[in-house]
């Protein structure tokens, strides 16, 4: 048949071709494509799967005094504590990179605000513009540090306490990173407590006498009675 030619159907053949327009273009439901997937690993979930309910935090937002080490680190070196938290939650980010990001966003903004307040004789319009810029930068810092808190909440199914993660870091940044550190420490300690270590059996070696006795047993021959 030549390319581009058509076959003319007879009346009997045409009556058999009873196809509704668009009938062959109906969507096909493929279970693997429409199934729900895990947010962490991307694997398809069964239909009977129900996500676990969000739990409360093991420590409160104002419980900084429960751990003196993290409290002092979060007060004087919050970038170090933030880097530890991010590195513990996500292996793709190192503690150093998270710490540097915190220094640029948070400590850099605080330093700029202090310099602006210390310098006298600046035009009021310029001061107002700098203040608006610093407030916007602090809001961006809250989003940056709040993403780490969201990652922690998704990992351990924690509630928004006391409010949205980004808003918590905007208002209570130092208390938030201390709470996140204590939460990670508590969950990691629970995981280590339930881990069972099984030691393999010791390697046994045959001595010269054992080899000689085994070879003599192999050389035995059966003799008829």
Q: In this structure, are residues 81 and 74 in contact, taking their beta carbons and an 8 Å threshold?
A: yes
Whether residue 198 is contained in a domain is answered as: no
Whether residue 76 is contained in a domain is answered as: yes
Q: In this structure, are residues 165 and 153 in contact, taking their beta carbons and an 8 Å threshold?
A: yes
Q: Among candidates 38, 141, 153, which has minimal Cα distance to 85?
A: 153
Residues whose CB falls within 8 Å of the CB of residue 9, separated by 6 or more in sequence, listed in order: 17
Domain that holds residue 142: 64-189
What does the block give as tokens for 101?
Answer: 């990001």
Global confidence as pTM: 0.61
Structural domains in the chain (count)? 1
Q: What is the pLDDT of residues 91-137, one digit of tens each?
A: 888 888 888 888 888 888 788 777 877 776 677 777 788 788 888 88
What's the pLDDT at 201? 65
Q: Among candidates 87, 117, 83, which has minimal Cα distance to 103?
A: 83
| Other beta carbons within 10 Å of 5 | 6
Q: Which of 39-43, 90-94, 159-163 has the lowest mean pLDDT?
A: 39-43
What's the pLDDT at 19? 57
Rounded CA-CA distance 7/138 in Å is: 73
Whether residue 181 is contained in a domain is answered as: yes
pLDDT at residue 143 greater than cutoff 80: yes
Rounded CA-CA distance 160/21 in Å is: 52
Which phi and psi angles does 158 have, rounded to 5°?
A: -105, 155
Whether residue 208 is contained in a domain is answered as: no
Rounded CA-CA distance 44/41 in Å is: 9
Distance of CA 189 to the CA centre of its chain: 18
Residues whose CB falls within 8 Å of the CB of residue 152, separated by 6 or more in sequence, listed in order: 85, 89, 158, 180, 183, 184
- For the residues 173-177, what does the mean pLDDT come to? 91
Q: Among candidates 114, 57, 108, which has minimal Cα distance to 78?
A: 108
Q: What is the pLDDT of residues 73-104, one digit of tens each?
A: 988 888 899 989 988 888 888 888 888 888 88
Whether residue 196 is contained in a domain is answered as: no
Whether residue 34 is contained in a domain is answered as: no
């Amino acid at each position: 048949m030549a390319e581009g030619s058509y076959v003319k159907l007879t009346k009997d053949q045409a009556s058999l071709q009873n196809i509704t327009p668009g009938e062959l273009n109906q969507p096909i439901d493929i279970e693997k494509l429409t199934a729900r997937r895990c947010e962490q690993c991307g694997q398809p979930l069964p239909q009977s799967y129900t996500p676990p309910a969000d739990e409360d935090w093991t420590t409160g937002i104002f419980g900084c005094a429960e751990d003196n080490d993290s409290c002092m680190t979060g007060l004087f070196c919050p970038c170090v504590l933030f880097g530890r938290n991010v590195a513990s939650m996500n292996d793709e980010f190192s503690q150093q990179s998270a710490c540097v990001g915190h220094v640029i966003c948070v400590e850099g903004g605080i330093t700029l605000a202090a310099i602006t307040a210390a310098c006298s004789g600046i035009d009021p319009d310029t001061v107002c513009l700098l203040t608006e810029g610093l407030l916007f930068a602090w809001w961006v810092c809250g989003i940056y540090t709040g993403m780490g808190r969201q990652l922690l909440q998704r990992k351990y199914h924690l509630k928004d306490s006391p409010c949205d993660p980004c808003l918590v870091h905007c208002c209570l940044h130092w208390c938030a990173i201390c709470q996140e550190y204590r939460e990670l420490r508590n969950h990691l300690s629970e995981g280590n407590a339930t881990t069972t270590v099984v030691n393999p059996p010791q390697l046994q070696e045959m001595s010269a006498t054992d080899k000689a006795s085994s070879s003599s047993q192999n050389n035995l021959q059966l003799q008829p009675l």
